[in-house]
Structure formats: C-alpha cells, structure tokens
Structure 1
Amino acid sequence: MARTTTVQVPVGDGSAEAYLARPDGDGPFPAVLLFMDAFGLRPRLAEMAERIADRGHVVLVPNLFHRAGPAIMVDAALLDTPEERARSYEKVMRLVAGLTTQVVAADTAAFLDFLAGRDDVAPGPVAATGYCMGGTTALRAIEALPDRIAAVASFHAGRLVTDAADSPHLGVGSVTGELYFAHADQDKSMTVEQIATLEAALDAAGVRYRSELYVGAPHGFTMADTAAYDERAAERHWAALFALLDRTFRQHAASLEAGVDG
C-alpha cells in the first residue's frame, strides 16, 4: 500500500508544501506530478495520489498557492453544494490568476528538480496529471518544459482557450509528448467551441493527443469530496490516466533499453 507524507519543496527563495505518495519498496519508481484543483491540498488529493502510487509511481502534489502561505485545508462540508463550491471558488480566483505562464514554468522546474534529487525516483521525464485549474497548469507545464515532461492528462480543465496572448492552446507547438484531455459536458469554462479550437491547434502542431467529451459529467467530476462528483466519469478518468501512464513509462523504458543495447 502506498503511503503519503508532507514535504517542503524548495521553490525560488521559499518553499512549497506538498504531498508525496510512494509505493512500498526501494524503487526507483517513475514519477508523476499531480496538479491540484482550486480547492487545494486536502484528503481527497492524498487519496488520489495514493491510488496512482499503488501502481508503482512516486507522486508529488504541490501546493500551487504556496506564495500565499501554507496550504489551508478545505472543509469538505463547504463543497457539498454547488452554491458553496461557487463561493469557495470565488475566494481563490485571485490566487488562480497568479499562476501565469512564467510562474508555472519556474515552479514546475523546481518540482521536477526535487523529484530528480530523490533516490527512489527513476531518471528521465515524468508524467503529469491535473484537475480543473490544475489541468490548465499541467498543459502550461509541458509547454514550458517539453524535455522534462513526457505526457500530460488534463481533466475537466477550464480556460484552455482564451483571448489572451498567452492562452494555453497557443503554446502547444512546443509539446513533444502525449496529451490527454477529458472535457466535462456543458462546462461553461470549456465550451464545445473552445474544445474545437484547442483540437485544431493540436492538429496544426502535430501533437499526439486524445480529446474526449465526458457526456453528462459536470465540471469537477473527479472530486469525490464535492457535489460535482460523478462516479462513472471518475472511474473512466482513472482508466484513461492509467493507460496514459502505462504507455508513457513503457515507451521510456524501451528507449532506455534500446540505448543500452546500442
């Protein structure tokens, strides 16, 4: 069984609190970055990290809002209704806005350096998964560091397509790894038109990707501690994520073996 500890990750002139989940054994294990949703570090994210770690991965879940201070545990009772979720989300929108392209690139490099410095982490690129705003962050991360992140899975992410000059969809040309997108049906933060724009950008850039619409699933469908949870969609997400991780690390292992044989 995987176990989770809380660690401090050096970031710039400060540090970020993070969950670290790892399997039993000495490793080394391939690493996965899990980018949180706007509600931050809490038991649900630790549970998700442990489920990934149980498949043989070291999983780091950093507090993306570390510049605002230590991670604040969210009271799950405040997420029980759509109204409470909306009010809670409004409180963190200022923090979300602070996750600029430059900030994400710098922080992600620090997270990856932390993982690379651990004896139980296998050398080579990592994979990343992200939820809601974390899905958007994950895409920005692989765009900024394509040589260090081999694959990204983005679940019910919003604002992947905007009118801004640094809209995430405009940076996909740098991506060399594989991408997976799971879009929530009728998600106001990622409309059908925006999904089409994202897919057109991915096609034009020649990126390997899969983009799927989870019909009937609301925004936030993976989060079992909120009113948005959809068990069927969440289980579909696990299957898609694990398939991507298996492909990614199997291909990396094959590349290493080919290099040795050569």
Structure 2
Amino acid sequence: MDSQVKQELDSLCPAPEMNRRAFVAGLLAGGFALAVQPVCAETVIRTDTKGLVDAEVSIPTADGTIPAYRAMPDHGGPFPVILVVQEIFGVHEYIKDVCRRLAKLGYLALAPELFHRQGDPRKYENIPDILKHVVSKVPDAQVLSDLDAAVAWAEKSGFGDGKRLGITGFCYGGRIVWLYAAHNPQLKAGVAWYGRIVSERTPTMPVHPIDVADKLYAPVLGLYGGADPGIPNDTVEQMRAALKKAGSPSEIILYEGMPHGFHADYRPTYRRDAAEDGWRRMLAWFKKHGVA
C-alpha cells in the first residue's frame, strides 16, 4: 500500500494498532476486499439480520450461473426489488450491508457478482490490478444481461415483485445504473452514486452515461461529489445539460466539497452528512417512482 494512503487511513481511523488489526482480521473473513484494507473501524456500519432472510444464491444466466447476495424481510412479500450494483471491489461486505439496510425497509435487495467470470476482485491488493486483470475484461453487455437474469430470478422466486423494480450502484455500479436505465423498460427508477459519466470508449465499454441521456426508460437520481477528481464537475454539468435537452425527469445532486466514495463507510472518503442525505434522497426517489 502507498505510504501516503496508509498515513491517511491511519489518521482517519485512529484505533490503537492492535485493536484495529483484530477488527480488520474479522472483517476479512466477512469479505472486505484486500485492496481497501485497513478499513475504518470507527465508521463501518454493520446491519444485523434480525427480521431478515439473507443468503448467497445462484442465478441462472445465458451461459451458466453467477452467485449473488440476497437479503429480504423474513415474512410477507412479494417485495419490491432493488438491484444493488457493486463497486470495482465486487460483492464484499459493504455491498452486502447495503442490501441488508434495504431489506430492513421492506425490499428484496439483490447484489449479483458481476465479475464472476473474469475473476475475484476481492483478492487483489491494489486498485490498478483490479482494473487491469478484472474490470477491463468485463463487457457491459454481459453485465446488463446478468442484471436482467437477476430480476428474472427474483420474480421466479415468488418473493420479488418485478413491477416495482429499482436499481442503485456505487462507483462502477453508479455508471451501470445509468446504462441499465437505458436498457430495461421494466425499470421504475435508478439511483447512481458517483458513477463516471464520460470516459474512454473500449470494446467492453462502448458507451457511457452521457451517450444514453436521451434513451432512459426510467428516471435516475445521480449523487455526486463536488471534489471528486475522477468525475470532474464539468462532466456532471454535461450530463445535466443532456438530461435537460432530452426532457428527462432525472436529477443530479452535486455535494460541494465531497470526495468520491462519500457513502462508503468503510473508507476514509466517508462523509456521514452527505451519505445520510443521499440515502434519504434515494429512498424518497424510489417511493416517488413506484419502487415501494
């Protein structure tokens, strides 16, 4: 790990060294990606499973099966469905906890492991290796197809109501939210947490959110950090302008001074006020657009 990054982590996660190491060791068993170690012990949100059913499930796809994490209330249903799309770190503990938070509110939350065919990003020790060896090899078309398969699985299970379908995602997943909103006419609403809007086009990623602003089937709420160097403010403004030109009801909130990953409670980028405000806005957005 870069020494400067480690110093930042230590300064923002000031637990005594022995206690911090013990905490991290426990979380590793729970599935936090190696590339984000050590996590910030003081800010990690851990949601229990009381009143829930949670499990790893297997989702049939066009070419086999992929694993997914599912959480939902332990009685009632069918429940509105929210697809939870991972960061580049895969379906690790943070994504699972987001699913449990949504399940506590009455949703069937489903997070498919979208990189399953290309490799396990949780095992790499740094972000450049994850991007090179895993993410760059994952076709958008495969991801969108797998998300469709996840919706079909939720409906077939009898516990998911596909007529009340939403999607949310973080970082890599935020970008996918925009693309899925232009892919599935069944979708009611999406919430994208700091997903890149403009980027280089590649064979696996031939289009980006800016290219589909006029093709959205469902309204998207974008939640972005005003101090995110990887997603410059001018690209956010480009997207706003494109959405306005298309007459889309989608909206973008730009949190002044907030970094990338401000919702990621296990990382030093976490900002409680912006994270909680974004969460409230997300829930209101889903309710407003029929995902409730």
TM-score range, shorter chain: 0.7 to 0.9
Q: Give the corresponding residue for 1:131.
A: 170
One-letter code of the match for 2:177? A
Counterparts in 2 of 1:5-154, with a 5 A limit? 5-69=55-119, 71=120, 73=122, 88-94=126-132, 95-145=134-184, 147-154=185-192
Deviates more, 1:166-175 or 1:28-37: 166-175
Residue of structure 2 equivalent to 1:161: 198
Report the AA paired with residue 150 of structure 1: K
Deviation at 1:37, TM superposition (A): 0.7
Q: In the comparison of the two structures, how many residue pairs are matched?
A: 237
What code does the residue aligned with 1:210 have? E
- The Cα offsets for residues 122-167 of structure 1, whole Å up to 9 and x where unpaired, read as 241410001000000111111111x121111001222x12353622
Q: Percent identity?
A: 24
Question: Do 2:52 and 2:73's aligned partners in 1 also have CA atoms closer than 8 Å?
Answer: yes
Instruction: Give the conservation status (yes or no) of the 8 Å contact 1:221–1:234.
Output: yes
For each residue in 1:47-88, what CA deviation from the matched residue of structure 2 results, as whole angstroms up to 9, or x when unmatched?
Answer: 11111111111000111111124x56569xxxxxxxxxxx62
The separation in 1 between residues aligned to 2:194 and 2:162, in whole angstroms, is: 30
Residues 1:214 and 2:251 aligned together: no
Which blocks of at least 5 consecutive residues in structure 1 are unaligned? Answer: 76-86, 254-262
SS at match of 1:32: strand
Unaligned runs of 5+ in 2: 1-50
Counterpart in 2 of 1:81?
A: none
CA distance in 2, matches of 1:130, 1:144: 15
What is the CA distance between 1:96 and its match in structure 2?
A: 2.2
**Secondary structure of the corresponding residue to residue 228 of structure 2:** coil
SS, match of residue 232 in structure 1? helix
Report which of the two has the higher share of helix: 1
Is 1:180 matched with 2:221? yes
Deviations 1:204-237 (A, max 9, x none): 1111111111122211111111222111111112
Equivalent residues of 2:94, 2:266 under 8 A apart:
yes
How far apart are the structure 2 equivalents of 1:100 and 1:168?
Answer: 15
Deviation track 1:178-197 (CA, whole Å, cap 9, x = no partner) reads 11001112212211110111
The SS at the match of 1:173 is coil
- State the distance in 2 between where 1:60 and 1:51 align: 12
8 Å CA contact 1:161–1:197 kept in 2: the answer is: no
Q: Distance in 2 between matches of 1:3 and 1:91?
A: 34
Normalised to the residue count of structure 1, the TM-score between the two structures is 0.84
Q: Equivalents in 2 of 1:125, 1:141: separation in Å?
A: 15
Find the aligned partners of 1:188 and 1:197 in 2 and give their Cα distance: 16
TM-score by length of 2: 0.75
Q: Offset of 1:113 from its aligned partner?
A: 1.3
RMSD of the alignment, in Å? Answer: 2.0
Q: In 2 relative to 1, CA 151–50 (structure 1 residues): closer, same or farther, beyond 3 Å?
A: same
What aligned pairs does 1:191-202 form with structure 2 within 5 A after superposition? Answer: 191-202=232-243
Instruction: Report the AA paired with residue 271 of structure 2.
Output: D
